[in-house]
Amino acid sequence: MDVFACLGRLDLCFEPVELWLGQRTADPHPLECTVTDPESFAHADADLNRQALEYHAHPKPGKIGVAVTKPAATQHDLSLAYTPGVAEPVRRIHADPLQAYEYTNKGNLVAVITDGSAVLGLGNVGGLAGKPVMEGKAVLFKQFADIDCFDIEVQAEHPQAFIETVMRIAPSFGGINLEDIAAPHCFEIEQSLIEQLDIPVFHDDQHGTAIIIAAGLLNALEIQGKSLEEARIVVLGAGAAGIAGVRLLMTLGAHRNNIFCVDRQGIIHTGRKDLNPYKFGVAADTDKRTLSDAMEGADVFIGVSGPDLVSPEMLASMAPRPVVFALSNPVPEIRPSVAMKVRDDLIMATGRSDYPNQINNVLGFPFIFRGALDVRASRINEDMQIAAVEALRSLAHEPVPAEVLEAYKLEALQFGPDYIIPKPFDPRLRDRVPRAVALAAIQSGVARIPQSSS
* Residues lying near ligand NDP in the complex (CB under 6 A): 118, 120-121, 182-183, 205, 209, 236-242, 263-265, 304-306, 309, 327-329, 351, 359-361
Q: How far is the CB of 241 from ligand NDP (least distance, A)?
A: 4
Q: Single out the residue of 397, 393, 413 nearest to residue 405, CA to CA.
A: 413
Output 52 or 118, the one with its CB closest to ligand NDP.
118
Size of the site for ligand CC(=O)C(=O)O (CB under 6 A): 8
Q: CB-wise, 228 or 331, nearer to ligand CC(=O)C(=O)O?
A: 331
Q: Identify the CA nearest to 325 among candidates 306, 291, 296, 300.
A: 300
Comparison of 209 and 381: residue with beta carbon closer to ligand NDP: 209
Residue 81 CB, shortest distance to ligand NDP, in Å, is 39
**Span 328-357, contacts to ligand CC(=O)C(=O)O by CB under 6 A:** 329, 351
Question: Nearest approach, Cβ of 305 to ligand CC(=O)C(=O)O (angstroms)?
Answer: 11
Identify whether the C-beta of residue 111 lies closer than 8 Å to the C-beta of residue 168: no
CB of 346 to ligand CC(=O)C(=O)O, least distance (A): 22
Gyration radius from the chain CA atoms: 22
Q: Does the annotation mark 70 as catalytic?
A: no
Residues 194-213 close enough to bind ligand CC(=O)C(=O)O by CB under 6 A: 204-205
* SS3 of residue 92 by DSSP: helix
Degrees (nearest 5) of the Cα angle 259, 262, 265? 145
Cis peptide bond upstream of 97, omega within 30: no
Q: Does 180 bind ligand CC(=O)C(=O)O (CB under 6 A)?
A: yes
Q: How far is the CB of 235 from ligand NDP (least distance, A)?
A: 9
Please say whether the beta carbons of 305 and 182 come within 8 A. no
Q: Note if 101 is an active site residue.
A: no
CB 211 within 8 A of CB 248: yes
Residues numbered 163 to 182 that lie near Mg ion (CB under 5 A) are 180
In terms of CB distance, is 352 or 432 closer to ligand NDP? 352
- From the list 131, 137, 142, 226, the catalytic residue is 137
CA distances from 42 to 49, 99, 149, 329 (A): 10, 54, 34, 15
Q: List, in sequence order, every residue forming a beta bridge with 349; answer none if it has no partner.
A: 325
d(CA 11, CA 361): 12
When CB distances are held under 5 to 8 angstroms depending on the partner's kind, the choice from ligand NDP, ligand CC(=O)C(=O)O, Mg ion, none that residue 183 binds is: ligand NDP
SS3 438: helix
Pairing verdict, β 323-326 and 266-267: unpaired
Q: Whose Cβ is closer to ligand CC(=O)C(=O)O: residue 182's or residue 442's? A: 182
337/358 with CB nearer ligand CC(=O)C(=O)O: 358
Query: Among 444, 426, 433, which Cα is nearest to 378's?
Result: 444
**Helices marked H in 272-381 — which ranges?**
277-280, 291-295, 312-316, 336-342, 365-374
The residue ranges that bind ligand CC(=O)C(=O)O (CB under 6 A) are 120, 180, 204-205, 329, 351, 360-361
Active-site annotation, residues: 82, 137
